[in-house]
Amino acid sequence: MKKHKQIFRIYIDGKIGDAEIKGAWTAAPTAKVLKNEIPDIVEAVRMDNWDEVVVKVNGQSYLENHFYAGRFRFF
């Protein structure tokens, strides 16, 4: 990966009301807003993850654990 030093991950460590929140998740519009407001950001993508997903390949079903998905332009 030639540009690996240009990849960043957003991590939240804060509070909403009395609840402490920590995690690598953001609201849906975050990537678009960051790209529009920070000129140095070339591309932004939001990743989704699921604990379990059924994937079908050639009619065969597979149960995949810890499944992650990103937009088509992720890399």
Per-residue model confidence as pLDDT tens digits over 26-37: 888 888 899 899
C-beta of residue 49 within 8 angstroms of C-beta of residue 67: yes
Is pLDDT larger for residue 64 or for residue 4?
64
Residue 75: the pLDDT is: 61
Which residue in 41, 9, 7 sits closest to 25, CA to CA?
9
What CA–CA distances, in Å, run from 19 to 12, 22, 73? 13, 10, 35
The encoded tokens of residue 12 equal: 């939240």
What's the predicted TM-score (pTM) here? 0.55
